[in-house]
Structure 1
Amino acid sequence: MGIISFQGARSKTKKEHEAPIKVSDYMSRKLITFKPHQSVMEVIESLVKHKISGGPVVGENQELLGIISEGDCIKQLNESRYYNMPIQDATVEKFMVRNVETIDGNLNIFDAANKFLETKRRRFPILEDGKLVGQISQKDVMKAALKLNSQYWRDL
């Protein structure tokens, strides 16, 4: 005959969401940004040096003008070779993507993860009052997942 244990009724634990779950809690605030009149070669050097795949292009007042990525730079390299044009003359504004989708810093990190899946984007800039204040990447979402314990994850 085995031992029978009775612990009685357990009180329901109150869900306490202590861990931050907003995009702004996990976004990068110290960004490497580029200016529209910078040369593409400068961008390539910066991307390689900082081991990043792209970055926002901003104006004088930190307003978001576009994004330039490794792919944009490779496109320029390819075109310069094909047309036999010097790459030193190529500027960011000619090759950046201007129609940039942003994400709200108050958005839930899980909704941001879904947005990454829907759009196939690698990063989203975050604006406040029209100025660039940060960027959330797929890697930032994965970092958030690691910080949130499994119980909290299930409760959402």
Structure 2
Amino acid sequence: MVKSFQGVRKAEPKKSPIPQILVKEYMSTSLITFKPDDTIDQVMEVLTKRRISGAPVIDASGALVGIISEVDCLKEIIKGKYTNTPKFPAKVSEHMSVHVLTLSPDLSIFDAASRFLDYKIRRFPVMKDGVLLGQISLSDIIRAFPTMKHTTW
């Protein structure tokens, strides 16, 4: 019978995990926000001036209550066509999306990219512990990928 003894093996150092790129690194924190009582006229003016396609809607206490987008504004434009009104006095609360999907700031941008594909929306508010911290858009996600190195991919 042959016995083999290799001696004491030296433990290989554990490789540190590859750092993930997180939503909080690419989200916008200087947000344009609207109030539920703002008018669609006001929203369209700001969206056009700031060259953005939507924004969070917050109440008087700063809590997220919805999101308003260019698509939501189109609803009022079409209504104005039928009623022959060139102004759009409807309130944001009448057209905003109230079932808002949010992301955590600690979510990886790969997971965020997957959510954009799954839900087919252009922006997610970023929240932690019920507090609105920022917003990440599809454009922010796309902007993140060219900066990645093969070690973070």
Q: What is the TM-score when the length of structure 1 is the normalising length?
A: 0.82
1:142 equivalent in alignment to 2:123: no
Q: Root-mean-square deviation (CA), in Å?
A: 2.1
Partner Cα separation in structure 2 for residue 84 and residue 61 of structure 1: 36
Q: CA deviation at 1:89?
A: 2.6
Matched residue type, 2:115: K
Displacement, 1:24? 1.1
Q: Please, which moves more after superposition, 125-134 or 103-112?
A: 125-134
Aligned position for 2:122 = 122
What is the aligned residue count? Answer: 142
- Per-residue deviation, 1:86: 6.2
Residue identity matched to 1:89: P
Larger helix fraction of residues = 1
1:71 aligns with 2:71: yes
Matches within 5 A, 1:43-82: 43-82=43-82
Contact 1:76 1:87 in 2 (8 A): no
Structure 2 length-normalised TM: 0.83
Structure 2 partner of 1:109: 109
Aligned-residue identity in percent: 44
Q: Distance in 1 between matches of 2:141 and 2:98?
A: 24
CA distance in 2 between counterparts of 1:88 and 1:144 reads 37
Distance 1:131 1:87, change over 3 A: farther
Moved over 2 A (4+): 14-18, 83-89
Q: Which runs of 5+ in 1 are unaligned?
A: 1-13
In structure 2, runs of 5+ residues without a counterpart are 1-14
CA, structure 1 residues 76+88, in 2 after alignment: closer, same or farther (shift >3 Å)?
closer
Query: 2:110 corresponds to which letter in structure 1?
Result: F
- Residues 83-138 of structure 1 show CA distances to partners (whole Å, capped at 9, x for unaligned) of 33563431111111111111111111101111111111111001123221111111
Larger radius of gyration: 2
